[in-house]
Structure 1
Amino acid sequence: MTKIDNDQAQLNQLEQQLTPSDAQYFQDLRLYLLTKELFGSNEKAITRQLLTMLQDFLDASQHGETASQFFGNDPAGLADALLAELPRNSRWQQIHFVGLLILISWFFVILNANTATGFRLNWLLLFAAPLVEIIAIALIFKIMNHAIYADSTPFKQETVPVVLITTLALIMLIGLFLVTPRFGSWVFIFLPNPWGIGLQIIQAIITVSWFGYSLLSNRRQPTQH
């Protein structure tokens, strides 16, 4: 078990000792911290900080204090202050995450490019599809983050815009796949087999390798204090 898994397991175990309202306080705080920045939030640092806070609070809770009394009635302000002090993901880690999203998107674009005679790659989709996906994910994170401590809007009501954004993104992606071929032959790159098949294999290897490297580097990076 990695350190982050161990910290998360301890956090989950300690949360079981809390009252429902106090447990919800920590769950909301964690979700707020993780969704504040799409690629910048450092999960390991956040988990370690929450574990330390929870351990401190358990001592205070024995005297009847609630989480809101112990940490204050402004959890959003507390979370923002924590994020200002906690280490963020490095630029290289953020590139890993963005690159992984792009490679996964490219995988399906390239998979769709295979024909009986060769490889017919829509290069316009290589740019448009990842852009739509990243914008949609960023908007979903923003909505979720805003909804956690919104006074007038329960979190469940925020599922409506999330579903709408997801649906709109899917419609746009399907539209791109259907419409861009009508622009003409200039949007395509033609490669005869076996070059087309070779490109698909190389792209699949790069995607899997990138995912594995990103996962391992994220787990191995030490948490700063």
Structure 2
Amino acid sequence: MQTEEVLMELLDHLLEGQKENKTAAQMFGGDPKAFADEIIRQLPKENKRNMVSFTIRIMILLLGIDLVINGITAFVVERFFSRPLPPFYPVSAALNFFIAGLYVIFAIWYIFRILKKSLFKEETKKVQILTFLKIDAVIFVFLGGVILLDKFMPKIGPSFSYPWWLPLVLGVVSLGVYYSWEKAAKSRGI
């Protein structure tokens, strides 16, 4: 709750400044980085339990989205192209998901690092373009890596066939779990 109070105070400050037609320099002073650092100092530190809970909720959300997309794709392949679905290898799928999850964590850390370095610096257009190209490269490598990982990962462990609707149903259930957990977390103020 304390975070929301600090952010509401900042929003009120911004709205008042807008009404009075103040410039950013008049509102934040000559050193916006110091102003931002002061706001960050006022924010409470997030405890580890909430961070782990948030991370697990995000993983469930991503899993649900992936399963829904796989279910829709399986339906299209089976119905419109009359092709059987390839067998499912749970060990390979879990390994792919784990590796992709690690890469997502790395990509988020790297993107925030790039943004933090460039946030309060006066940059030329060339430097700004280079920064966005770095971020685009991280995203491109992630997407390409996931596709290549799925394509070339050896099939490990037992396999089984499944109907097209199974991943769709599991995805909807995962999304339901995510939204219920997210709603409960918000009601507790997490």
Superposition TM-score tier, normalisation by shorter sequence: 0.5 to 0.7
Question: Could you tell me which amino acid in structure 1 is paired with residue 9 of structure 2?
Answer: Q
TM-score normalized by the length of structure 1:
0.58
TM-score normalized by the length of structure 2:
0.66
Deviation at 1:205, TM superposition (A): 0.9
Distance 1:77-1:219 versus aligned 2 partners, 3 A rule:
farther
* Structure 2 unmatched runs, 5+: 75-83
1:72 equivalent in structure 2: 29
Structure with more of its chain in strand, by fraction: 1
SS at match of 2:159: strand
Question: Could you tell me which amino acid in structure 2 is paired with residue 84 of structure 1?
Answer: R
RMSD: 3.8
1:6 equivalent in structure 2: none
Task: Measure, in 2, the Cα distance between the counterparts of 1:161 and 1:197.
Answer: 39
Percent identity (aligned): 19
Aligned residues between the structures:
172
SS at match of 1:150: coil
1:119/1:193 contact within 8 Å kept:
yes
SS at match of 1:131: helix
1:76/1:149 contact within 8 Å kept:
yes
Please give the residue correspondences for 1:2-81 in structure 2 after superposition, counting only pairs within 5 Å: 44-45=4-5, 47-54=7-14, 57=17, 61=20, 66-81=23-38
Deviation at 1:219, TM superposition (A): 6.6
2:89/2:160 contact within 8 Å kept:
yes
The 10-residue stretch of structure 1 (117-126 or 77-86) with the greater mean CA deviation from structure 2: 117-126
Deviation at 1:127, TM superposition (A): 1.0
Please give the residue correspondences for 1:57-206 in structure 2 after superposition, counting only pairs within 5 Å: 57=17, 61=20, 66-107=23-64, 108=66, 111=70, 116=85, 119-121=88-90, 122=92, 123-153=94-124, 156-157=128-129, 158-181=131-154, 185=155, 187-191=156-160, 193=162, 201-202=169-170, 204-206=172-174
